[in-house]
Amino acid sequence: MGDPSLIIPTEDIGINDSLSYKEILVQILDRQVRKLRTKEVASFKVLWRNQFVEKATWEAEEDMKKRYPHLFESGEIPN
């Protein structure tokens, strides 16, 4: 027998008919630049909705610029 207080309605998460949902960016936690032999690669540690801080992921700066160009225009990204 389950605990009804732990059930989350699917409307709150936004699950669609294919039983998937779109991750929504909540906060950028950190930025790092890794130096390789011939180039530098910047990435951001991103916190997504419906995730814990421990599960935050590192995303490439180029991908973030494509998906969220408005963040780079307004200067909200941490240095």
Closest to 41 measured CA to CA, from 64, 24, 23: 64
Q: Would you list the domain boundaries of the chain?
A: 23-79
Phi/psi at 62 (nearest 5 deg)?
Answer: -60, -40
Q: Hey, which CATH number is domain 23-79, 2.40.50.40, 2.60.120.560, 3.20.20.70, 1.20.1440.230?
A: 2.40.50.40
Place 45 in a pLDDT band, splitting at 50, 70 and 90.
very high
What pTM value is reported for the model? 0.64
The model's pLDDT over 4-44, given as tens digits with 9 standing for 90+, comes to: 777 776 666 666 677 676 788 889 999 999 999 999 999 99
